[in-house]
Amino acid sequence: MATPVHAGRACFVIAAAVAAPSLAQQAPAAPEQPDGAISAEAQSSSSTGSSPDAKKDETQELETITVTTGTRSAKAVDKIPGAINIVTPEEIKRTLTLTDDATAVLARTVPGYAESSQAMSNTGENLRGRIALRLFDGVPQGSPLRDGTRNATFTDMGIVGRIEVINGPSASEGVGAAGGIINYLSATPTEEGSQVRLITRYSSQFEDDSSGWKVGVNFMHKEDNYDFVGGVSRIDRGMGYDADGVRLGMNTSGSTNDSVAKNIFLKGGFNFGEGGEKRLQASYSHFEINGNGDYIQVDGCRYHVTDCPNPRPNTSERGHIFGTKAEFNDFQQFNLQYSDANLFGGTFTANAYWADQAMRYPPENGDDRQDPQITPNGPDGRIWDQSEINSDKLGLRTGWTKADIFNISGLELRTGIDWVRDKADQRLALTQRLWVPPMEYTSVAPYAQLSYDIGPLTFSGGVRREDGKLNVDDYTTTWFRGRRNVNGGELEYGETLKNIGGIWRFAPGWSAFASYGEGFGLPNVGIPLRNLSCPVSPGNGCPDAPPIGVGDLFDLQPVVVDNREFGVNWQGETTYLAISRYDSRSQFGTSFAIDPATNDYTLFRAPTRIKGWELSADWNINDAWKLSGLYSHIRGKTAFWSADPAGRFGAGELNKPMGALDINPDKIGVTLRWKYSDAGEISLGSTTLLSRDLSGRDVRAYDGATYSYVEHTDGYTLVDLTTRYDFGPYGRLSLGIENLTNKQYILSWSQVPGFRNYWAGRGRLFSLTHELTW
For 411, what's the count of Cα atoms within 13 Å in the CB-facing half-sphere? 5
Separation between Cα atoms, residue 612 and residue 440, nearest integer Å = 35
Burial 304-324 (b: 16+ CB within 10 A, else e): eeeeeeeebbbbbeeeebeeb
DSSP at 652: P
Q: Are 399 and 348 in contact (CB under 8 A)?
A: yes
Separation between Cα atoms, residue 21 and residue 52, nearest integer Å = 7
For 653, what's the count of Cα atoms within 13 Å in the CB-facing half-sphere? 8
Supply angle C-alpha 458, 459, 460, rounded to 5.
Answer: 125
Which residue type does 542 have? C
Residue 108: which H helix or E strand, with range? Answer: helix 104-109
Which CATH architecture fits 4-773?
Beta Barrel (2.40)
Residue 283: closest CA among 139, 413, 149, 444 = 139
Residue 638: closest CA among 622, 620, 624, 651 = 651
Q: Cα 514 from chain centroid?
A: 25
Q: What Cα–Cα distance (Å) separates residue 194 from each residue in 39, 447, 773, 774?
A: 21, 40, 11, 8
**For residue 146, what pLDDT is reported?**
87
Which residue type does 703 have? D
Q: Are 169 and 178 in contact (CB under 8 A)?
A: yes
Separation between Cα atoms, residue 703 and residue 693, nearest integer Å = 29
Burial of 144: CB neighbours in 10 Å, binned 0-12, 13-18, 19+: buried
Q: Are 93 and 9 in contact (CB under 8 A)?
A: no
Long-range contacts of 740-745 (CB under 8 A, 24+ apart): 740/764, 742/243, 743/243, 743/716, 743/717, 743/718, 743/719, 744/242, 744/243, 744/244, 745/243, 745/714, 745/716, 745/718
434 has which bridge partners? 427
Which residue type does 86 have? I
Q: Are 147 and 708 in contact (CB under 8 A)?
A: no
Residue 161: closest CA among 44, 283, 79, 50 = 283
Separation between Cα atoms, residue 652 and residue 605, nearest integer Å = 11
Separation between Cα atoms, residue 64 and residue 5, nearest integer Å = 12
Separation between Cα atoms, residue 60 and residue 54, nearest integer Å = 6
Q: Are 414 and 449 in contact (CB under 8 A)?
A: yes
**For residue 553, what pLDDT is reported?**
77
Residue 178: closest CA among 608, 470, 467 = 608
Q: Are 64 and 161 in contact (CB under 8 A)?
A: no
DSSP at 366: -
Instruction: For the chain, report the end-to-end CA distance as a whole number of angstroms.
Output: 28
Q: Are 214 and 100 in contact (CB under 8 A)?
A: yes
Separation between Cα atoms, residue 140 and residue 41, nearest integer Å = 28
**For residue 593, what pLDDT is reported?**
67
Average pLDDT per 10 consecutive residues for the chain, totaling 774 residues: 40 30 32 37 30 34 53 60 81 91 90 91 87 91 86 93 86 79 92 95 94 96 95 96 94 88 97 93 97 90 89 92 88 96 93 96 89 88 93 95 92 94 94 93 94 93 92 91 88 91 92 91 84 68 75 78 92 91 89 62 82 94 95 95 87 93 93 96 96 96 94 96 96 97 94 84 97 95
Length of the chain: 774
**For residue 596, what pLDDT is reported?**
60
584 has which bridge partners? 563, 610
DSSP at 82: S
Supply angle C-alpha 296, 258, 154, rounded to 5.
Answer: 115
Q: Are 397 and 421 in contact (CB under 8 A)?
A: no
Helix, strand or coil for residue 176?
Answer: coil
Separation between Cα atoms, residue 756 and residue 749, nearest integer Å = 13
Separation between Cα atoms, residue 153 and residue 182, nearest integer Å = 13
Q: Give me the phi and psi of 239, to 5 degrees please.
A: -75, 155
Burial of 710: CB neighbours in 10 Å, binned 0-12, 13-18, 19+: exposed
What's the pTM?
A: 0.88
681 has which bridge partners? 724
SS (H, E, C) 136-166: ECCEECCCCCCCCCCCCCCCCHHHEEEEEEE
| Paired sense of beta strands 132-136 and 180-186, if any | parallel
461 has which bridge partners? 450, 500
Q: What Cα–Cα distance (Å) separates residue 205 from each residue in 209, 247, 298, 728?
A: 9, 11, 21, 29
For 388, what's the count of Cα atoms within 13 Å in the CB-facing half-sphere? 20
